[in-house]
Amino acid sequence: MLNIKFTLKLFILFVFIIEFNGSSKAQAISYLHSGTYNFSGSIDFTLTTETLPGDVNYTEKFINCSPAGSYFIIDRLSIGLGIDYNYAEKHGIYADDYNYYDASIAFGPLVRYYFIDDRLAPFAEIAYTHDIFSLSQNTKYLGYSASIGLGMNYFATKSFSIEPYIDYQYKTRLYYVASPQFPIYGYLTDQNILYGLRVNYFIN
C-alpha cells in the first residue's frame, strides 16, 4: 500500500525567502490595519494505492485548492471571499475497470477578527460557501456550508505569516441522480472538524 500526501501552500518558500532576505530584521508589527489586502490559501494533493482482495488494483487521488482574498475595513477586522475546489478520482473500487470521478467548486464570503496585532495574532472567523457545481458520475448536487473557526497567525515577516487553524463546518447538499427510470432526489448533511495550515500574504 502506498499513501502519499503532498501539501503545497500558496506563495510558498520562494515568497518566504524573498521576504526574509529582503528584511534582515523581521518586524513584529504586522499589516492588520485598515486598507490592507490579504491573500491566503493552500493546495493539497493525496495519492493512495493498494491491492484489494481479488488482486484488484485500487487508486485514489484527491486535490484541493482553497485560495481566499480579504480587505481590512477597520483595524483587525477583514471581510473577503473564499473559493474551494475539490477533485477526487478513484479507480478499481469494485473492479479494475471501475472509475469514479467527483468534482466540486464553491465560493462565499468570510469575516475574520484578530484579537491582537502582534507577531502572534490569534483570530476568530466565520464563513459561508455555496456549492455551485458538483458532479459524481450521474449525480448532481447543490448545497451550502457554514463554518466557524479559530486560528493563530505567526508573522515570519511584516507581510508574510503562517497560520494553523481549526474549524467546525456544517454542510448540506441537495442531490439528484439522473436515472431515466428512477430519478432520485435527497439531502446529505455533514458536520466536520477541519484543521490544517495556511499561508498569508499582506499588501498595504
Total domains, the chain: 1
Least confident of 60-69, 88-97, 166-175: 88-97
- Of 193, 145, 199, which is closest to residue 171 (Cα–Cα)? 145
Q: What are the phi and psi torsion angles at 65 (to 5°)?
A: -130, 120
Q: pLDDT per residue over 110-150, tens digit each?
A: 999 999 998 899 999 999 998 876 665 566 777 889 999 99
Which secondary structure element, helix H or strand E, spans residue 18, and what is its range?
Answer: helix 13-22
Output the pLDDT for position 126.
97
Least confident of 15-24, 36-45, 77-86, 101-110: 15-24
**Structural domain containing residue 133:** 2-203
pTM value?
0.75
Q: What are the phi and psi torsion angles at 180 (to 5°)?
A: -65, -25
Please state, in angstroms and as integers, the Cα–Cα distance from residue 122 to each residue in 15, 82, 129, following that order: 22, 19, 23
Q: pLDDT per residue over 26-71, tens digit each?
A: 444 568 999 999 999 888 888 877 776 666 677 888 898 999 999 9
CATH number at residue 136: 2.40.160.20
Q: pLDDT per residue over 64-77, tens digit each?
A: 899 999 999 999 99
Burial of 6 (0-12, 13-18, 19+ CB in 10 A): exposed
Burial of 151 (0-12, 13-18, 19+ CB in 10 A): buried
User: How many whole angstroms separate alpha carbon 185 and alpha carbon 177?
Assistant: 7
Output the pLDDT for position 12.
47
